[in-house]
Amino acid sequence: MAHYYMEPSRTFSEFLLVPNLTTKACNPSNVTLKTPIVKFKKGEKPAYSLNIPFSSAVMQAVSDDRMAVALARSGGISFIFGSQSVEGQAAMVRKAKSYKAGFVVSRSNLTPSHTLNDVLELKERTGHSTVAITSDGTANGKLLGIVTGRDYRISRDSLSKQVSDFMTPFEKLIYGKSGITLSEANDLIWDHKLNCLPVVDAENNLDYLVFRKDYDEHKENPSELLDTNKSYVVGAGINTKDYEERVPALVAAGADVLVIDSSDGYSEWQQSTIQFVKSNFDVKIGAGNVVDREGFLYLVEAGADFIKVGIGGGSICITREQKGIGRGQASSLIEVAAARDEYFEQTGIYVPICSDGGIVHDYHITLALAMGADFVMMGRYFARFDESPTRKLKVGNNFVKEFWGEGSNRARNWERYDTGGKAGLMFEEGVDSYVPYAGSLQENLSKTIHKIKSTMCNCGSLTIAELQKNARITLVSATSIVEGGAHDVILKENSVTNE
């Protein structure tokens, strides 16, 4: 006879945190969000810990090398998507690992034969006012000039005017040579009153851009997640099909932590993948996703360094709708956290768990941590930012960014869902969509982190471990959910100002 779970499958929105005593020491500035990401023995320290409990999802629309650098700079980790060629993913890992703080790979590039109209369109799409002009229009082509807002006037210049006619040519640029230190680059910027310093190699091919505005930014990132060589810690996603080819390439590229990307991780496929990695490489690997005690223990016993929790809760995931498989994220997390704690008591080995999916509001992150998650993984949250790899578009009067699931026809990531059948997607388990554009990662992440720290103070906790131990959590009724928002008032229009 089938086993029935008669308790409803619950989501984060069905719970609230009940305040504990807020002592005078409970100030957000005293809260630390440092958290383990890989397993460790009692009394020892984990090989890797996050400075903030955030990871970005293994998705084409979210995690590339640029996101990996941006998130590591803030103290989290990005898992570069694996639904691409082995060579492409390894190149992204290599680029993120070799990134030097303050040295930016140019994301806005044109050729001299482009026009002012092309410059304006590129600026509208990317928000970048500095455009590198290279021989082939790539980020590493021979540098021929630079275009900034000071090089043209829209009111007087024709939109068809060629870039070669108004760019600042290379011979008039102040530039640095490959190998220059950040300190030396900043000295050139300040000495010559520059906003941007290009760095070129011996053949004058563009390597990086160094911006004046980034000087203060790097001073303001004390939480950067660095390895022993002072490079950013970088993660990468793998699947259970081509791992014998993909894993060696990713390890050679410098990936610090791997994770098996799958909608359902409770499988012999994942067991074989974990065992292969552990037998051949000195690299950490997470597994999942699971929703119960049995799935957690199966993957831990296979050798996984952390476990991802959640099936069907992602904003673009339709696995539950298509297959009837999954479980409410809160219910999944509560059971797996209990299994993790029991396993720790029995073995002295602590296996971190990652809550993946089901997060709609910032307070859901704090709830996930209180319920036992060591860190969270999010896709929609990070897809909204400048640093995600997707296009920024204007739909109606609003700016949006593209966002699609790995189970959508657009991603074609059949390896994530394969169970040994035909190679290909027979039906979709994800959708293709837009998310509202939100600006820069750092600005939004800072606000979210402050909310989490403030809530932890309300709960009388200064660390995630204290929150997990002392949190008081209550179920809420449908009526109290309505009560929790603005009600029985006429809201003012957001456009109203004091002018």
**pLDDT tens digits along 14-47:** 999 999 999 999 999 999 999 999 999 999 999 9
- Please tell me which residue, 28 or 317, carries the higher pLDDT value: 28
Q: What percent of the chain has pLDDT over 70?
A: 93
- Residue 386 in this model has a pLDDT that exceeds 70: yes
**Out of 171-175, 415-419, 486-490, least confident range:** 415-419
**Is 416 marked active-site?**
yes
pLDDT score for 178: 93
- Residue 218 in this model has a pLDDT that exceeds 80: no
Q: How far apart are CA 174 and CA 326, in angstroms?
A: 58
Residues in the chain: 499
pLDDT score for 496: 40
- Residue 79 in this model has a pLDDT that exceeds 90: yes
- Average pLDDT value for residue range 311-329: 82
- Average pLDDT value for residue range 297-310: 98
- Average pLDDT value for residue range 372-401: 94
For residue 289, say if its preceding peptide bond is cis, omega within 30 degrees of 0.
Answer: yes
Tell me the chain's radius of gyration from C-alpha atoms: 24
Q: List the catalytic residue out of 73, 94, 340, 416.
A: 416
- Average pLDDT value for residue range 275-300: 97
- Residue 419 in this model has a pLDDT that exceeds 70: no
Highest mean pLDDT pick, 4-18, 217-231, 406-420, 448-462: 448-462
- Average pLDDT value for residue range 208-237: 83
- Please tell me which residue, 107 or 399, carries the higher pLDDT value: 399
pLDDT score for 411: 63
pLDDT score for 499: 38
pLDDT score for 497: 43
pLDDT score for 482: 78
C-beta of residue 53 within 8 angstroms of C-beta of residue 376: yes
- Please tell me which residue, 63 or 430, carries the higher pLDDT value: 63
- Average pLDDT value for residue range 413-425: 56
- Average pLDDT value for residue range 71-91: 96
pLDDT score for 93: 96
As a whole number, the mean pLDDT across the chain is 91
- Residue 387 in this model has a pLDDT that exceeds 50: yes
pLDDT score for 498: 41
- How do residues 420-465 score in pLDDT, each as one tens digit? 555 555 566 777 889 999 999 999 999 999 999 999 999 999 999 9
pLDDT score for 231: 84
- How do residues 325-380 score in pLDDT, each as one tens digit? 889 999 999 999 999 999 999 999 999 999 999 999 999 999 999 999 999 999 99
- Report pTM: 0.78
Quote the tokens at residue 336.
């797996």
Q: List the catalytic residue out of 317, 354, 457, 459.
A: 317
Quote the tokens at residue 462.
């200064």
pLDDT score for 414: 55
pLDDT score for 418: 55
- Average pLDDT value for residue range 236-259: 97
